[in-house]
Amino acid sequence: MNELDLEAAPAAPLAEILRPKTLDDVVGQEPLLGPQGRLRLMLAHGALGSIIFWGPPGTGKTTIARLLADAADMAFEPISAVFDGVGELRKVFDRAAQRRPQGRRTLLFVDEVHRFNKAQQDGLLPRVEDGTVTLVGATTENPSFALNGALLSRAQVLVLDRLDRTALEAILGRLEAHIGRDLPVDKDARAALLGMADGDGRYLLNMASLLVEMPETTIMDSQALAELVAGRAPAFDRAGDQHYNLMSALHKTLRSSDADAGLYWLARMLAGGEDPHYILRRLTRFAAEDIGLAEPEAQPRALAAWQAYERLGSPEGDLAIAGLVIYLATAPKSNAAYKAFKAATKAAAKTGSLGPPAHILNAPTKLMKQLGYGADYAYDHDDP
């Protein structure tokens, strides 16, 4: 049976049917798999160690791990940190230990490794250290925050890029070669399809599977495609990297007075589900930190926009936030107050026990006057 025969394997999704069979078939990860890519060099020198793949969904983490095992002639043991626990790990370790006397190494692939708790991550360490398994973990979360330092110190973190337009086009070309015809979409719809994928090859194939069933005589335009394929929410995580990265992008574009870019990053955050109150709090802080004394009206304007949003809610109140973004971007900038207060805070931390000069102290009692409180104080309004 041809393993790429859709009729022979009707239950298999296209992403599985078209999964690369060798490392040469993988697209979009040239820094890792190109002629001088890090993984290529590891394999060439027989130095494939433990690795953490960090990257967005649909970029090839699972596929590359499986193909690395094939290329290094290692047994491949995949588990999921969502569904498997210590019990399954013990079984994998036992099988790996049985292979070692035969000279066969084991590659343990842990999908969504960040879902393991600290104890489970610690449970990997002894078998990684003694060479029972070579660990390849996959995560969409920042390893610096999601994984234990002890585990990170024993593995290289390799970043997988979101697939670019060229890589996604190559995947579509592979699909069309498999089905023996072009997808029934016009040029604009094809471009829209690639854009909807947002760098995710698996999602692209899942969308394309809907088109495979369409009659060849039906050529869809971008509007028909949008009606067929449900829109995809942009990549965003309210508690992870994207939460901070997009806010940082908004802050820095406002600081550089780029209103258009500021509106873009605002729209990205709102579309991804960011809490508008968090955005408004940060914008109010921006008014104090980056505009400050250059435009004293900035802080009242920020608070007014916040109040307008609270009265209106979304989506009507989103326009109040957008207006504030434009205002803050185009306002004059000054961080003088921010820098001065930061310097004062630093000085206060170093001299926390230093008392005020006696001449500026209040002297409500006779004793305090005798002690010199308020002595020689000059009332500044009398001598401006």
Q: Parallel, antiparallel, or unpaired: how do β-strands 156-159 and 51-54 relate? A: parallel
Stretch 320-330: mean pLDDT, rounded?
97
Q: Is residue 84 part of a domain?
A: yes
Write down which residue in 135, 159, 183 finishes a domain: 159
Cβ pair 49, 87 in contact under 8 A: no
Report which of 328, 310, 143 is spatially closest to residue 254, judged by C-alpha positions: 328
Report pLDDT digits (tens) over 175-230. Answer: 999 989 889 999 999 999 998 888 899 989 988 888 888 877 788 888 888 878 76
The pair of structure tokens assigned to 341 is 């207060």
Distance CA 288, CA 282 (A): 10
Residues 257 and 306 in one domain: yes
Distance CA 74, CA 67 (A): 10
Q: What is the count of structural domains for the chain?
A: 4
Report pLDDT digits (tens) over 82-100. Answer: 888 888 899 999 999 999 9
Q: Can you list the alpha helix ranges (DSSP code H) found in 241-352?
A: 241-255, 259-272, 276-286, 298-312, 318-330, 336-350
Distance CA 313, CA 233 (A): 21
Residues 69 and 87 in one domain: yes
Q: Is residue 90 part of a domain?
A: yes
The pair of structure tokens assigned to 345 is 């805070």
Q: Is residue 47 part of a domain?
A: yes
Q: Can you list the alpha helix ranges (DSSP code H) found in 72-214?
A: 86-99, 118-129, 143-146, 149-152, 165-179, 187-197, 201-212
pLDDT for residue 7 is more than 60? no
Residues 261 and 221 in one domain: no
- Rounded to the nearest integer, the mean pLDDT of the chain is 88
Q: Is residue 49 part of a domain?
A: yes
Write down which residue in 177, 196, 228 finishes a domain: 228
Burial 140-176 (b: 16+ CB within 10 A, else e): bbbbeebbbeebeebbeebebbbbeeebbbbbbebbe
Residues 149 and 135 in one domain: yes
Within its chain, how far is the Cα of 320 from the centroid? Answer: 27
Residues 182 and 304 in one domain: no
Residues 266 and 316 in one domain: yes
Angle (CA) 235-324-255 rounded to 5° is 75
Q: Is residue 60 part of a domain?
A: yes
Residues 312 and 254 in one domain: yes
Residues 53 and 87 in one domain: yes
Q: Is the link from the previous residue into 20 a cis peptide, with omega within 30 of 0?
A: no
Distance CA 183, CA 368 (A): 91
Residues 143 and 91 in one domain: yes
Task: Check the CA dihedral 32-34-35-40 and report its sign.
Answer: positive
Instruction: Quote the domain boundaries for residue 207.
Output: 165-228
- Helix/strand/coil for 149: helix
Q: Is residue 263 part of a domain?
A: yes
DSSP characters for 256-275? TT-HHHHHHHHHHHHHHT--
pLDDT for residue 5 is more than 80? no
pLDDT value at position 235?
58
pTM over 0.85: no
Distance CA 55, CA 158 (A): 9
Report pLDDT digits (tens) over 19-75. Answer: 999 999 999 999 999 999 999 999 999 889 999 999 988 999 999 999 999 999 999
94 DSSP 8-state letter: H
The pair of structure tokens assigned to 53 is 């793949």
CATH number, domain containing residue 141: 3.40.50.300
Residues 91 and 211 in one domain: no
Distance CA 38, CA 313 (A): 49
pLDDT for residue 247 is more than 80? yes
Question: Residue 244: which pLDDT band, with cuts at 50, 70 and 90?
Answer: confident
Residues 41 and 127 in one domain: yes
pLDDT value at position 302?
96
The helix (run of H) or strand (run of E) holding residue 169 is helix 165-179
Report pLDDT digits (tens) over 339-378. Answer: 999 999 888 888 877 888 888 888 888 888 888 888 888 8
Q: Is residue 376 part of a domain?
A: yes
Residues 34 and 152 in one domain: yes
pLDDT for residue 250 is more than 70? yes
Report pLDDT digits (tens) over 120-149. Answer: 898 899 999 999 999 999 998 889 888 988
95 DSSP 8-state letter: H
Distance CA 299, CA 291 (A): 9
